[in-house]
Amino acid sequence: MPKRKKGSDDRILEQDLVDIFVDRMTTHPEADLCIQTLHNSGCGAHAYADVEFTSRSGVLWAVEAKTHESQDRHNTAHKLFGELLKETGRGRDGQPQFAVLIPTTAIDFYSEKFQAIDRRKFIDFGKLIPVRTVFACDRAGVIQLSWEELYDAA
């Protein structure tokens, strides 16, 4: 059996989340959120966010996915900040709307982790990027929270 690279199990967990999210968003009733053109849905892509798509209404989305089920779950909260910052520097045609994707079951986990950060600084970071929404997803569907609501959830 081939040996997996460190982190490959984590990537599989994130990819499962991404696959569920993409499936849900292809039939989303809101034109700003419903996927018309999927540019990327692979967590390993270095040239794109974990999910990049253009909605039916023409909104370009760049979505970074994290899961609390990974081996380094405690570091994923910190890694998210770096991933979001990196996305702002990518050369794209058009300015994307930035979002975060987490499992619905991870809302409290990430909220508790983020509460170790000063609230004002956390919210200001969300404005700096800017993070338009946080998607929480599972097989039942997708819900949205604001960056501030994610912080306050736990």
Give pLDDT, residue 32: 97
Angstrom distance (rounded) from CA 76 to CA 53: 23
Q: Which amino acid is at 143?
A: I
Q: Are the beta carbons of 64 and 109 closer than 8 angstroms? A: no
pLDDT tens per residue across span 18-51: 999 999 999 999 999 999 999 999 877 778 899 9
For residue 103, give the nearest of 140, 131, 78, 75 by alpha carbon: 140
pLDDT tens per residue across span 5-20: 444 565 678 999 999 9
Min mean pLDDT across 2-6, 95-99, 128-132 is at 2-6
3-state secondary structure of 35: strand
Give pLDDT, residue 38: 97
Angstrom distance (rounded) from CA 89 to CA 74: 25
Q: Where are the domains of the chain?
A: 8-152
Q: What is the mean pLDDT of residues 42-71?
A: 90
Q: Whole-structure pTM over 0.75, yes or no?
A: yes
Q: Has residue 4 got a pLDDT over 50?
A: no
User: Which one is the CATH code of 8-152: 3.40.640.10, 3.40.109.10, 3.40.1350.10, 3.40.50.10470?
Assistant: 3.40.1350.10
Q: Has residue 55 got a pLDDT over 90?
A: yes
Q: Has residue 120 got a pLDDT over 80?
A: yes
